[in-house]
Amino acid sequence: MSPLSKKRARVWTAVIWIAAGLTVIITFSPVILHHGKKDPSLLSLPFSLWGGMMTTVILVLLAYLSSKIRDKY
C-alpha cells in the first residue's frame, strides 16, 4: 500500500466517523425529537419514528462504506 492510499484511507475513515457522530447528535437534538409532541406525522407515523428509521439507514450505509474502505486499503 502506498503512503498516498494509506493517507486517503485515513481521511475517508475520519469523514465516516464525523458523519456518524453528526448523525447521532442530530438524532437526539430537537430537530428530530420534539418534547411531548407526536405531530407532525408522515404516512400516519410520528416524525420522530421516521427520523429514527432514517438514522438507522444512514448508520448502516456508513458502516458499509467503512467496511469497503477497510477491504480496499
- What does the pLDDT read at residue 53? 87
List pLDDT tens digits, range 31-56: 766 676 656 666 777 777 788 888 89
Domain assignment of residue 48, yes or no: yes
Domain assignment of residue 27, yes or no: no
Higher local confidence (pLDDT), 27 or 3: 27
CA distance linking residue 51 with residue 46, whole number of Å? 9
User: What are the grid coordinates assigned to 3, written together?
Assistant: 503512503
Q: Is the pLDDT of residue 26 over 90?
A: no
Domain assignment of residue 46, yes or no: yes
Domains contained in the chain, number: 1
Domain that holds residue 62: 41-73
CA distance linking residue 71 with residue 20, whole number of Å? 19
Percent of the chain predicted with pLDDT > 70: 77
Higher local confidence (pLDDT), 38 or 11: 11
